[in-house]
Each structure stands twice: as structure tokens, then as C-alpha cells.
Chain A
Amino acid sequence: MDGEKVSQQLETVGSPIIADPLITVRDCNVFYGDTHAIRNVTLDIGRNEVISLIGPSGCGKSTFLRCLNRMNDTIDSARVTGEICLDKQDIYDRKVDPVLLRARVGMVFQKPNPFPKSIYENVAYGPRIHGLARSRAELDDIVFSSLDRAGLYGEVKNRMDEPGTALSGGQQQRLCIARTIAVNPEVILMDEPCSALDPIATAKIEDLMEELSENFSIAIVTHSMQQAARVSQRTAYFHLGYLVEVGDTKTVFTNPLHRLTEDYVTGRIG
């Protein structure tokens, strides 16, 4: 069996390129100062698909995720090369305003980070700055339906004016998801959204992701291989900045092509 595995090469094996992608990444490199964090990554993300990015700590999967909505712009020393397109438009093009890009590509962070404002204001903030609601009633509709889609409405409907920070960790994370979908993005990036949550809250968010994938593309970074297996259709394995293997989640976990992937999913490294 060992003989069949690719073990040395660090070029991506599997199927990074797919038909009719929403996001295409070609030869992406990221540098933090002199550190080469992402090396020659080529990857497509399809429409309405959930793709998990897995790999040991420091392998660059979060960095890669943050390239997709240009959150790396906020880090002074970060430099991105290569081509990343959303709907065939290069997002690092001079003409692209990161503000519009981030309205189209939303993000949920590792630690729940609601604004220190009321629950209502947390969700209403995005639609408000982008001018998505023409009236107060419309804004109410957006806020309540977003909370509902995030599975939080029932729990908070009587406490809209309470601070978002007063919710439990799992509720806060769902509030952050509601806040993200209130802007109605095309893609949602999730950076280890469940790592600070207990299993019950995690299960709720995983259910939520399944529902959300009907309307959005989701890229999720996770340390939990069970989670990746449960929620995603495709899985990408990163190792030391290289994208080692991409494929159907089932294949990656049961019959990986690359030796490093096998070592990781069977628990020998990472």
C-alpha cells in the first residue's frame, strides 16, 4: 500500500481545479516579511459547496482563508502574490475596493467577537453601513430573518436590546454568523468557528452550516477532522504552507493519495 502513496513531492495532488468555480486561486504565495507562509497554492472553491481546510498548526490554512477577503491587508508586513479571482474578477486588482469584496465574502472568526452593542445593533450594523435597508421595517426584516437563519431568533427575540456580549459563547458565535449573513454575502469564510465552543454549541453550528450551504459557499478552517468529515464536501490538506492534497472529503479521509495526508488524518502528525 505504501508504494502507491505520493510521499516526497509537495505539489498538490488530487483535484484542486473544478468545473464552474466561484473562487479561483492560482499560484498564490503569501509572505510575512521574510517568512514564506503560503507556497504556490492553486485551488478552486465551488458554488454552494462547503470546503474544509485542515492541517497542523502553523500550516497556513488561516492565512490562506484571510487572503480570500483581503483581511491580510490589515497586516503591514503581509504580501500576497499570484491571482485570486471571485467570479473571474481579480480581487487584488487595483480597481477592487476591499469594502465591496468583504461585503461579498463574509467572515466568521475563531473567537466569537460580537460588538459591545445590543444584539439588534450587532446584526443591523452590516446592512446599515452598506445601505441595504431602505426603511426601519426593512432593517427589522433583515435582522430578524438573519437571526432566524442563524438559529438564534427563538433564544433572543425578547432580549434584542441586551448587549451581544452577554450571550453564551455558542450564542455569540451564532450571533456573529447572523451578523455575517445579514449582509447577504456570496461566500462565508469560517476560521475555526467552533474551537472555543462546547460540543452542543458545535453541533448547532454544524447543522447551521449545512443549511447555509444551500445559499452560500463556505470555506471552513478546522482542527477537528470529524467536523471536516461531517460538514464538508471537499477537503484541502495544508502542510507547512503547501497545499498537499485536495479531494472529496470521503476520499481524503479514507484513501488519501499523499503520505503526509495519511499521516495527519490517521493521527501520526499534527
Chain B
Amino acid sequence: MTMPDGTSRKTFIRTGAQTRELVEASLGARRRRELRFRLYGILAIFASVAFVVFFGYTIVKAGYPAFSQTFIQLEIGFDPAVVDPDGKRERQSLAGANYKKLVTESLLAIFPEVTDRRAKRALNGLVSSGVVYELRDMVLADPDLIGTSRKIWLPVDDEIDSYFKAASGAAQDAAAGRFKSEELEWIKRLQSQGLLELRFNRIFFTAGDSRDPEMAGILAAAKGSFFMLLVTMLLAFPAGVAAAIYLEEFAPKNRWIDLIEVNINNLAAVPSIIFGLLGLAFFINFLEMPRSAPLVGGLVLALMTLPTIIIASRSAIKAVPPSIRDAALGLGASRVQTVTHHVLPLALPGMLTGAILGMARALGETAPLLMIGMVAFVVDIPQTPLDPSTALPVQIYLWADSPERAFVERTSAAIIVLMLFLLLMNAAAVWLRNRFERRW
């Protein structure tokens, strides 16, 4: 036959039986290929699930002991002669009193045979050095304690904590090896008297960082992260959505807009430490904002998250069917009305999902925070976004760097807390999407 372009071809027609035969011959290979493809998929899923399970297992296994802490029950006599020698109950003198002596005395009441100074100091080492602050805070909160005697559970030193948690076997022997024989003797005696007990580690959730693992907590870091994300969300979400709406709905299609688009896409791929450098140069050195403040961290993370939010918001806007815009415009809605009444409500779930995923990435970001001084050792819990603070991932980094054995479990525990934060945010993203999603 003659083709439209003038060349001629042989007319090629098979019978039904021939066609069926040929198709059947090719079926086996096609089925095998499909099976193979499915198998690869299952293997890939299996491998990733296995990694996640392994990761979760090791982290939880290493981290869950940190949620409990060994406490020692001591009968503390708040001796007025020690706590309040002047008898005036002035805050300053109460705060400066020698609480260590109270602990020593109550320990000596349990071990009356200890007399020499060296042994006394070793005995004192059983209890965390942070307990003096705890006793001080108790007295400051309730000065009527002075003159009374209370049974109080106080955290023990981290080495004893490790020994007590390692229930038996080789791990306990290893932990025991770090004590002198008399110390081990004391511990065993306290244990047999039931004065040592594993209790919920509230310090971990209520304290800031500390050099003593048993007194270290993540609240300062968690609040720092919270303030930072707050600043990031408040800045990046409105700015990102506004930019996306302008670019999608209003911007003329010209070379400048193309250039801006390319740059936004590139910014999304810029290494985060560069944003940290920018924050250091601009916010801290030029605008002279405070160092180590969650405000600056939030600003930097907002800049980092902005491109992600713009890109996600733009694709959410693009996914709104053009027929909805036509319908609104055809009725005489202005462009702004079309966007705010129809496009935005339909695109919002996608925008929120993108924003929350961007925020989740910001939450886990460490590198830019190192540049703006949020890597500091922060004991006080920040009260505002301007107070010096650190962030969860930075806290993990700091603890992972610490030599004390007890920080190992706390590092993992902090990772668990961070993961819970992330899970919570992702769950919120899913919930928001399902809540606001509409079919059209």
C-alpha cells in the first residue's frame, strides 16, 4: 500500500490464530518480568523496614534506661545551725548555706563507722553533687522546713546509677569494677536496707544541661527547639504561601520570574550550614542580634525552610483544577477573590503538609545552629526566644561528645524525644491533610 508520504509498504495482516500464538509465546517472559519487578519492590520495602526496626530497637534499648534513675532515700535534718545560722531566714544566706553538710551528716547516720576525711569524701561521692541545689531549692521554696527532718529521695552519682541499673552478670561486674571495695560494700549495704530505688527520672524532663549526667535534662533544649520552630513557622509559612500564590497566580511569565523560580529551587538544595553562615553574618554581626538565641535560630531556619514551603505550596496550588478558577472568574470574582475563596482553601492541606515536613527538617537541623552559637552549654531553661538556648539535635551532639558513661543512655533518650517530636509533627501533617482535604 502507499503511505501518506508516498513510500510503499507491504500490506501486513496476520490471521487471528497466528496473532494469538505470538502473544502467548511472549506471555511467559512478561509474567516473569512482572514477578521479578514485584520481588525487587518487596525487597526494597523489606530492607527499609528492617533498617527502621533495627534503628528504633537500638535507640530505644540504649535510651530507655535514662527515663529512670537510681535514687537514695536519706533522712535529711534541716539543721538550723547549718542552713540558717543567723536565724533571720534571709534568702541570700539560705541560698549560700552549706547543704553538703546536711547530706554528709545523714550519710554518716547510716554509716557511723566512717570517720576519716578521705573516706567521708568518698561517702559523699555516693550522692550526686547536684543534690545540694535540690536541697537549696526546697528550703527556698519552703523555709519552714528548717528545723525539721524529712525522708527525701535524692539522685545518686551516675556511676552507682549504672551499677544499679545493670541488674546482674557481666555488665554489673564491669560496673562494679569501677568502685573501690569499701564503696562497693556501702552500695551493697544501702541496697540490702532498701534505701536505693529506681524511680522515674523527672530530672531528665525538667532540668537544663549539666556536667553531671544524673542532673542533666533536656527541657532547656526542648524549649529552645520549640521557640525556634515557633519563630520559623510564624515567618516561613505566611511568607512562603504568599510567595507561592504570587508566583502561581499573579506573576507575569517573563525572564525575571523564571530566574526567581530557578533560584528558589536552588536555594532548597543549599547546604544548611551556609544558611548558618548567613545568619552569623547578617543577623548577629550586622543586625547585632543576641548570640545563641532561638530568635536568630528561628530566623535562620525560616530562611532555610522557605524554599521548601514555596515549592510545596506551588505544587499544591498547581493541583487545584483550573476549572475551579474558570468557574469563579466566569461568575465575576476578581483574581484575589478567586484565590482567597477557592484556590487557597483547596490548596491549604497540601501547603500545610509541605510546611510541616519542612519544619520537621528544621527541627532536626544542627549545622546552621553551630554557626550562630546555639551550641552553648545552657543550664538555665530559656523563658523567651531571646534567652540563650540550645536545641534538641545540638544537645544530642553535645552529650554524644561527653566522656561520662551515663551520657550514652541520655543521648539515646534525647534522640527518642526528638523522634517523638518528629512523629508528632508528621502525624499532625497527616491529620491536617485528612481534615481539610476536599474532593472535587
Contact = CB atoms under 8 A, between A and B. Distances in A.
Contacts of B342: 115
B41 interface: no
Contacts of A203: none
16 contacts: A69-B330, A71-B330, A74-B329, A76-B252, A102-B331, A109-B323, A109-B326, A116-B346, A125-B328, A125-B341, A129-B333, A165-B440, A179-B327, A180-B330, A180-B331, A183-B331
B119 interface: no
Contacts of A130: 332
B245 to A, nearest CB: 15
Interface string B325-347: 11111111110010001100010
Contacts of A176: 327
A99 interface: yes
A126 interface: yes
B32 interface: no
A116 B331 contact: no
B434 to A, nearest CB: 15
Interface residues of B, number: 22
Given A115-B342, A129-B337, A179 B324 contact: no
B440 A116 contact: yes
A193 to B, nearest CB: 12
Identify the 4 closest CB pairs spanning chains A and B, nearest first: A113-B323, A103-B332, A107-B330, A102-B332
A130 B331 CA distance: 9
Interface in A106-161: 106-107, 109, 111, 113-116, 125-126, 129-130
A100 interface: yes
Given A113-B323, A115-B342, A116-B346, A165 B439 contact: yes
A95 B438 CA distance: 38
Contacts of A99: 332-334
Contacts of A165: 439-440
Contacts of B438: 116
Nearest to B252: A76
Contacts, number: 65
A103 B331 CA distance: 6
A65 B226 CA distance: 55
B20 interface: no
Nearest to A73: B329
Contacts of B329: 71, 74, 102
B322 to A, nearest CB: 9
Contacts of A71: 326, 329-330
Contact of A129 (B253, B324, B330, B332): B332
Contact of A115 (B252, B253, B324): B324
Given A111-B323, A129-B337, A106 B253 contact: no
Given A116-B346, A116-B438, A165-B440, A74 B325 contact: yes
Contacts of A113: 321, 323-324, 326-327
Interface in B286-344: 321, 323-334, 337, 341-342
Contacts of A74: 325-326, 329
Contacts of A114: 327
Interface string B404-440: 0000000000000000000000000000000000111
